[in-house]
Amino acid sequence: MFRAKKEKEHRYYLLPGMGRSNRRHRRLVFRWSLAVGVIFSLFFAALLYFLNRR
């Protein structure tokens, strides 16, 4: 009748975007954005080089 109340179990909740799959997705997006940035900058540098070569 007068039992001690069970303590509620403490749960650790991750906020949105803190899970392992989201970190993996962000790493993938970061790598692709670096690759596209390098390719675009090489293309733009080549374009400027050929335009100023005349």
SS3 annotation, 24-53: HHHHHHHHHHHHHHHHHHHHHHHHHHHHHC
Ramachandran area for residue 17 (φ above 0: left; ψ -120 to 50: alpha; else beta): left
pLDDT tens digits along 10-50: 666 677 777 788 889 999 999 999 999 999 999 999 999 99
Q: Is pTM beyond 0.85 here? A: no
What letters, b where the CB count within 10 A reaches 16 and e where it falls short, cover 30-49? eeeeeeeeeeeeeeeeeeee
